Chain A
């Protein structure tokens, strides 16, 4: 909301004292669902407390990706990628992922959410 006049040129000035920005974010994936649980990657893996940080998406070296909870359960059975059957190795999120240092959570290998815009006075 820019500082603005009332529109009828009456000269009243509005000063913004405080504002809360809201940003939306998404995992940088091409498919929209997890190949294991078939739920949206932005959504909730079965058993996860909630979407987002409680249900992170992880990448393998083979470039396939799943909910962390889903792939972890599978890796107890077999150490392969469910899609290409290559040996599963965790990898960092692919290049286009916005890996801003301040927002990296859960350490290496996990996708990173876009940070919300800073609050401005």
Chain B
């Protein structure tokens, strides 16, 4: 076993993580300057998923035997996902446990987390409640995941979605558009206005 973390590799990895944040949607930084064993990773929620628009922070601790043992990762940002604990942020992902290999890096692990957001594994859940909802009430799951992304990960609900939300209550499109623009995009205020208008 290595006695201490190989800082040469770790420093290279930090650079590697930040080489193309725009295209990869991955970033990382040290939590404390000069402590290369404690990182904060950031993942952009993948498009066409309920996590789209969200920014998810991940706590990363490198054990002394890294890279011969996996980094310890958990979500800091709350996330509604079958393989992520809605309570603690703990992650169930094979490469962070038994399938780790020293050829993997923090960057590839963060990219794997991004892929996990795109493709959940409900049969190998970390959060049984979320996994059950995912399998049995998928629509409900999508809504909750999106709501959590908006609430905790800073995603803005798009105008078209807000409009759909209002129209799903049975209001005419024209009225919804007017109410939404009068309420400056606030769905709740627009709903109230539409209801009081009836």
Contact = CB atoms under 8 A, between A and B. Distances in A.
- A, B: real partners: yes
Interface string A26-45: 00000000011111000000
B interface, how many residues as a size bin?
A: 10 to 19
B36 interface: no
Interface stretch (B4-12, B72-80, B123-131, B173-181): B4-12
Contacts of A73: 1-2, 68
B67 interface: yes
B112 interface: no
A82 B2 contact: no
A98 to B, nearest CB: 27
B8 A85 contact: no
Majority secondary structure of chain A interface residues (helix, strand, loop or mixed):
loop
B103 A77 contact: no
Interface in B48-72: 67-69
A10 to B, nearest CB: 57
B101 interface: yes
B102 A46 contact: no
A38 B9 CA distance: 6
B102 A36 contact: yes
Nearest to B11: A38
Contacts of B69: 77
Contacts of A46: 2, 6, 8-9
A31 B20 CA distance: 22
A47 B2 contact: yes
A82 B100 CA distance: 9
Given A38-B12, A73-B1, 6 more contacts: A37-B8, A47-B3, A73-B2, A76-B1, A77-B69, A80-B101
Interface of A: 35-39, 46-47, 70, 73-74, 76-77, 80, 82-83, 85
21 contacts: A35-B103, A36-B67, A36-B102, A37-B6, A37-B9, A38-B8, A38-B13, A39-B9, A46-B8, A46-B9, A47-B3, A73-B2, A73-B68, A74-B68, A74-B102, A77-B68, A80-B101, A82-B101, A82-B103, A83-B103, A85-B101
